[in-house]
Amino acid sequence: MIIVLDKRHTSEQKTRLVNFIRERGGKPSEMTLRDRLVVTFNESLNGKLDFLAFAGVEQVVTTQTEFKKSSWETQSEPTRIKVGNAEIGPGRFNVIAGPCAVESADQYLRIAHKAKKAGAHFLRGGAFKPRTSPFSFQGLGRSGLEILAEARKETDLPIITEALDVRDVEFVYKVTDVIQVGSRNMQNFPLLREVGKTDKPVLLKRGLAATIQEWLLAAEYVLEGGNSQVVLCERGIRSFDQETRNFLDLAAVPIVHGKSHLPVLVDPSHALGRRDLVAPMTKAALAAGANGVMIEIHDEPETALSDGFQAIHPDNLEDIIKDLKRMGAALDIYVP
């Protein structure tokens, strides 16, 4: 850590700072850079301290990453997450598809088979839905989970579904292959800790207005609990432009890859809220280095109980996957 002292700091202020570091096991050294006194020391002090709170301190520069477990400093190999025969990680591009919500057994199983036929590698679908309005369809809850379990049995595709609340985790855990933590819950710290205690992969969506830093720190909560299987998912952030539902921050993909060994997916459906943009931005996600996409599909979007406007038809999904395979072949990325 590098602490730059104010030009007008007093010698008492400096002594207080230096003694404070020593008392906590640090070995401070002092130097003058231009006209500033700088105190540097090893970062492994007892307890995290806010040096900006000290009188006489102008600037604090940390040389150690805040991302203790998600950064390349702790792991030099990219994380690979195995889910049955599937794998999410480097050199691969997975397509997760399904309707926004599980609406009924007939609806979900019908679409699940179509997703499989189109070439999807995972099934998605919410049983617990985080809806903006309390008057909108909230999901089937636990009976929705039973339908997901049946879809898994019939299609042999792994399931990704959301745990909306700490109290859902044990029920979601029983049926799902990957536990989703949604955008609105990215900073629900008790929920992050709860899924961090499980041994199932966690798909952590980026918060509606979260910085990349906050997103990675949220992942740290899960990793800290002992669960090393975290997949990040960029799903768009709030912006001023009303053309799309959110702003798809595709640059987040290579930025996160630069900072972290965790895999990153892109959800073009929630990011854009427009079915016409799903195909081009899915291909862009592959080009940007994402490890996969999560796409909402529906065969009768007019009747969908949520997000019908952004769902693509399973036939379109089939075309997209064909294009992804051709792109993958050219870029040496395996699209199963």
Where does this chain bind Mn ion (CB under 5 A)? 100, 307
Of ligand PEP, Mn ion, none, which one does residue 87 interact with (CB within 5 to 8 Å by kind)? none
Query: Least distance from C-beta 130 to ligand PEP, angstroms?
Result: 5
What are the structure tokens assigned to 189, written together?
A: 């710290």
With respect to ligand PEP, which residue has the nearer C-beta, 21 or 123?
Answer: 123
Query: Rounded to the nearest 10 degrees, what angle do helices 212-224 and 189-196 cross at?
Result: 40
Report H helices in the chain: 11-23, 105-118, 142-155, 169-175, 189-196, 212-224, 252-259, 268-272, 278-288, 314-331
Q: How far apart are CA 252 and CA 261, in angstroms?
A: 14
Give how many residues touch ligand PEP by CB under 6 A: 11
Site pattern 44..83 for ligand PEP (x: CB under 6 A): ----------------------------------------
Span interacting with ligand PEP, options 3-11, 41-49, 178-186, 322-330, rule CB under 6 A = 178-186
| Closest approach of ligand PEP to the CB of residue 16, in Å | 47
Task: State phi, psi for 66 to the nearest 5 degrees.
Answer: -80, -20
Work out the angle between the directed axes of helices 314-331 and 105-118 (0-180°, nearest 10).
30
CB 16 within 8 A of CB 54: yes
Which of 40, 183, 227, 310 touches ligand PEP (CB under 6 A)? 183
Q: Which of 9, 116, 205, 298 touches ligand PEP by CB under 6 A? A: 205
The binding site for ligand PEP (CB under 6 A) comprises 100, 126, 130, 162, 182-184, 205, 235, 267, 270
